[in-house]
A and B are shown apart, each in its own frame.
Chain A
Amino acid sequence: MALRKADQRVSISDSAGVVVDARKLTTREFNVRLHALLSQGKTRITITNPEARHNLGVGLLQGCRLEFEGSVGYYCLSYCDGIDATVKGNSGWGLGDNLMSGRIIVTRNVGSSTGASMRGGEIIVWGDAGARTGISMKGGTVIVAGDSGFLTGFMMQKGRIIVLGDVGSAAGDSMYEGIIYFGGKVKSLGADAKIEPVDRREQKEVVGILMSAGARLEDIPRSFKKIVSKKKLYHYDSLEPLERDRMVI
């Protein structure tokens, strides 16, 4: 897919900044080092040799610019707020878990549960995404340049997923709100999900988001469709007498 050439487009930080070699550190030492550097105001950090290890960069709650020179494992950059990070490689499960704000770019493929339960910010995947992309999202945006897997957007509450390629089976299963835009095909819809067309205004909006995420206009599908909730599972069909008095304030 054309967008994978975005490798070259991702700006690599210049030599100003700190280099941390993950190979020499345990996970604990690594995270302690990262937090120490950030609290010293050294917020531009390049990480070499991550070697697809787990839990790299957990709980970073201040602005920083991170570059991972290689693949990361599970729960990378989870529980973070205000970060700006790039992973030059693949990611395992749960990338950007519960992200509050900020931006994470992955230049290759990601595993399952990318952006799980995130609340804000952007996760941009230039390759393919695994199953359960954007599961339980409460806000923010996940962009997948390639294809996204099984149960994409499962139990999504708010936010946006934009898939330029194809979406796997059971897409949008049990969504509350939130939208999954897709440029390719959907293998099948999940429970209570439906496909709707995207009008010109919305199309422009999606294109705008993609371009500010670094996509080139010629790589963006001409027309997206979207998956939204049918909202038929919002209520039990029948209620007992005491349950019938609905009170909402």
Chain B
Amino acid sequence: MTTLKEPDTNEVLSQRIVEDIQVKAELGRYRIRGFSTFQRLVHFDDVMFVARNLTERNSENGTVETETILGTRFAERAIKISTPVYITGMSYGALSRTAKVALAKGAAKVGTATCTGDGGMLTEERRYSTKMIYQLNASRYGVTPQDLVKGDGIEIVVGQGAKPATGGLLMGQKVSAIIAEKRDLPAGIDQRSPTRHPEWLGPDDLGIFVETMRELTDWKVPIQIKIPACRVRDDVKLAAKTGADGIVIDGMQAGTGASSEVVLDHSGIPTLSAIATAREALKEIDLYKKVYLVVSGGIRNGVDAAKAIALGADAVAIGQAAMIALNCNREIPGVTDFDREVGVPAGYCTKCNTGKCPVGITTQDPELEKRLILDEAAVRVANFLDSMTTEMKVITRAVGKNNVHDLSPDDMVALNLEASIMTKLPMVGTQTVPSMTRW
């Protein structure tokens, strides 16, 4: 008879791993799921803002500026958004049409941008956005020059933080006839996107291809390059040297509609560590603040955004947070039954890849999609974006500044050694950063 109230957990062979091995003994391959990594990683909670109290403090001017301009390096028309957060690219296919339109409407309501995804552009997406970035993936699904030039910016995707060096994945359940037609594929197949772009293979060719995009858009709009956070220092420098206006660094806490678990959990570096490295890399080639930096991958609220900006970002992009604002993982009484539909309670669901999304976001099933009510969803997205903006303002004012873009590393400290090394912020209680000869 044990006197323990709760059974002890084995750290190495946890319950989750036990279940994992049992499933794979049936499956015979890697597992696939959506959402993001379960790894416990250093993240924004490991760094803190520190206000100035008796030391220098700004006047009590209440307003805080959040307007953000992206793309002044070469483009004629930079992207101007009201707040330094926009909705990242998520494919029509991974997401339902209603979800994509709700995101566009919500972003527009607030005056910020949205981004297409690995499934081409929806006409309504362009219609309802004020600023829309056209995402160019390796797959080129649905790409036409007529659509490309409708973007307020172009994002060339080298990869995404959730699953670096692998391509998009859309399981057959979600390759409906409509999606199949849009992607020029047979309906119902397990679609795998290529990992590399079709006409350029390395940074040398990419440099030439960036010029192609510029010529196509008449040098009018910013071209940004999205990189998964891996070898950030090298990748950021190479991307900057191709002549891009901006770089998007996507950390390993980023989400996805479907990925092999292997890459999801074991490839990439934490978002927090990527920002400081990206910033220093740009400084080394004298392009900091000339090439803009967008950070994404697990941005959950306005204070995460503010911290990212303080560390060197010009803006952040949200994906998972936007979906949760839409209704992801929310039990709607009388409508959804997570336990029965996806086998886990609401709040624990990562089954985006199955197409069974009980709230109609990551599905192509029209019955499920009906559960997402467009205009309500758009309002929730707008509200969440507004909440992020107010949070940013509050924290900016608290550290004595009037513009969110004035936040800087010396407004922050790290709470532990790992965060201190990764961000080059002093650890709380000290004034020095653990030195490294090379980073």
Interface residues of A (CB under 8 A from B): 27-28, 31, 35, 54-55, 58-59, 61, 73-75, 78-81, 93-94, 97-98, 100, 112-113, 116-117, 119, 132, 135-136, 138-139, 155, 157-158, 176-177, 234-243, 245-249
Instruction: Enumerate chain B residues within 8 angstroms of A61, measured Cβ to Cβ.
Output: 145-146
Given the complex of chains A and B, what is the CA–CA distance between A249 and B189 in angstroms?
A: 13
Instruction: Enumerate chain A residues within 8 angstroms of B217, measured Cβ to Cβ.
Output: 59
User: B211-251 vs A: 1/0 string, CB under 8 Å?
Assistant: 11001111100000000000000000000000000000000
Q: How far is the CB of A130 from chain B (nearest CB, A)?
A: 11
Interface residues of B (CB under 8 A from A): 23, 26-29, 31-32, 139-140, 143-146, 148-149, 171-173, 175-178, 183-190, 194, 198-200, 205, 208-209, 211-212, 215-219, 342-343, 351, 353-356, 364-366
What is the interface of chain B mostly: helix, strand, loop, or mixed? loop
Q: How far is the CB of B252 from chain A (nearest CB, A)?
A: 24
Known: A55-B211, A238-B29. A246 touches B188 (CB 8 A): yes
| Contacting pair B366 A117 (CB below 8 A) | no
Q: How far is the CB of B413 from chain A (nearest CB, A)?
A: 44
Q: How far is the CB of A54 from chain B (nearest CB, A)?
A: 5
Given the complex of chains A and B, what is the CA–CA distance between A73 and B49 in angstroms?
A: 52
Known: A242-B354, A246-B188, A249-B364. A81 touches B29 (CB 8 A): no
Given the complex of chains A and B, what is the CA–CA distance between A66 and B186 in angstroms?
A: 36
Known: A249-B176, A249-B177. A243 touches B171 (CB 8 A): yes
| Contacting pair B351 A242 (CB below 8 A) | yes
| Contacting pair B28 A248 (CB below 8 A) | no
| Contacting pair B173 A246 (CB below 8 A) | yes
Instruction: Enumerate chain A residues within 8 angstroms of B172, measured Cβ to Cβ.
Output: 235, 246, 248
| Contacting pair B29 A117 (CB below 8 A) | no
Instruction: Enumerate chain B residues within 8 angstroms of A241, measured Cβ to Cβ.
Output: 343
| Contacting pair B140 A27 (CB below 8 A) | no
| Contacting pair B29 A243 (CB below 8 A) | no
Given the complex of chains A and B, what is the CA–CA distance between A78 and B177 in angstroms?
A: 29
| Contacting pair B185 A113 (CB below 8 A) | no
Known: A54-B211, A59-B216. A139 touches B173 (CB 8 A): no
Closest B residue to A32 by beta carbon equals B218
Q: How far is the CB of B134 from chain A (nearest CB, A)?
A: 12
| Contacting pair A248 B149 (CB below 8 A) | no
| Contacting pair B198 A247 (CB below 8 A) | no
Instruction: Enumerate chain B residues within 8 angstroms of A239, measured Cβ to Cβ.
Output: 27
| Contacting pair B190 A235 (CB below 8 A) | yes
B186: contacting residue among A35, A74, A138, A234, CB under 8 A: A234
Q: How far is the CB of B221 from chain A (nearest CB, A)?
A: 13
| Contacting pair B356 A242 (CB below 8 A) | yes
B145: contacting residue among A54, A79, A136, CB under 8 A: A79
30 A–B contacts from the bound complex (CB under 8 Å):
A54-B211, A55-B212, A59-B216, A59-B217, A74-B205, A75-B208, A78-B212, A81-B144, A93-B200, A94-B209, A97-B198, A100-B145, A112-B199, A116-B198, A117-B143, A132-B198, A135-B199, A157-B185, A176-B185, A235-B172, A238-B27, A241-B343, A243-B171, A245-B354, A245-B356, A247-B176, A248-B173, A248-B175, A249-B178, A249-B365
| Contacting pair A238 B199 (CB below 8 A) | no
Contacts A93-B200, A117-B140, A234-B189 aside, 8 further interface pairs with beta carbons under 8 A come to A35-B218, A55-B208, A236-B190, A242-B354, A243-B354, A247-B364, A248-B176, A248-B177
Known: A234-B189, A246-B172, A248-B175. A157 touches B215 (CB 8 A): no
B143: contacting residue among A81, A98, A139, A245, CB under 8 A: A98
Given the complex of chains A and B, what is the CA–CA distance between A164 and B171 in angstroms?
A: 37
| Contacting pair B342 A155 (CB below 8 A) | no
| Contacting pair B140 A54 (CB below 8 A) | no
Known: A59-B149, A243-B173, A247-B355. A136 touches B198 (CB 8 A): yes
Given the complex of chains A and B, what is the CA–CA distance between A152 and B368 in angstroms?
A: 41
Instruction: Enumerate chain B residues within 8 angstroms of A119, measured Cβ to Cβ.
Output: 144, 184
| Contacting pair A75 B140 (CB below 8 A) | no
| Contacting pair A58 B185 (CB below 8 A) | no
| Contacting pair B29 A249 (CB below 8 A) | no
| Contacting pair B27 A59 (CB below 8 A) | no
Closest A residue to B355 by beta carbon equals A247
Known: A117-B198, A176-B186, A238-B29. A100 touches B215 (CB 8 A): no
Given the complex of chains A and B, what is the CA–CA distance between A136 and B194 in angstroms?
A: 9
Closest A residue to B198 by beta carbon equals A116
| Of B28, B149, B354, most A-chain CB atoms within 10 Å | B354
Instruction: Enumerate chain B residues within 8 angstroms of A113, measured Cβ to Cβ.
Output: 198-199
Instruction: Enumerate chain A residues within 8 angstroms of B187, measured Cβ to Cβ.
Output: 248
Q: How far is the CB of B212 from chain A (nearest CB, A)?
A: 4
| Contacting pair A247 B365 (CB below 8 A) | yes
Given the complex of chains A and B, what is the CA–CA distance between A134 and B354 in angstroms?
A: 32
Given the complex of chains A and B, what is the CA–CA distance between A157 and B29 in angstroms?
A: 26
Known: A59-B216, A240-B27. A176 touches B189 (CB 8 A): yes
Known: A28-B219, A58-B215, A119-B144. A248 touches B188 (CB 8 A): yes
| Contacting pair A235 B189 (CB below 8 A) | yes
Given the complex of chains A and B, what is the CA–CA distance between A190 and B157 in angstroms?
A: 26
Given the complex of chains A and B, what is the CA–CA distance between A157 and B142 in angstroms?
A: 12
Given the complex of chains A and B, what is the CA–CA distance between A237 and B29 in angstroms?
A: 9
Instruction: Enumerate chain B residues within 8 angstroms of A245, measured Cβ to Cβ.
Output: 173, 354, 356
Closest A residue to B356 by beta carbon equals A242
Instruction: Enumerate chain B residues within 8 angstroms of A80, measured Cβ to Cβ.
Output: 145
Instruction: Enumerate chain A residues within 8 angstroms of B353, measured Cβ to Cβ.
Output: 243
Given the complex of chains A and B, what is the CA–CA distance between A236 and B293 in angstroms?
A: 38
Closest B residue to A98 by beta carbon equals B143
| Contacting pair B190 A234 (CB below 8 A) | yes
| Of B27, B32, B140, B198, most A-chain CB atoms within 10 Å | B198
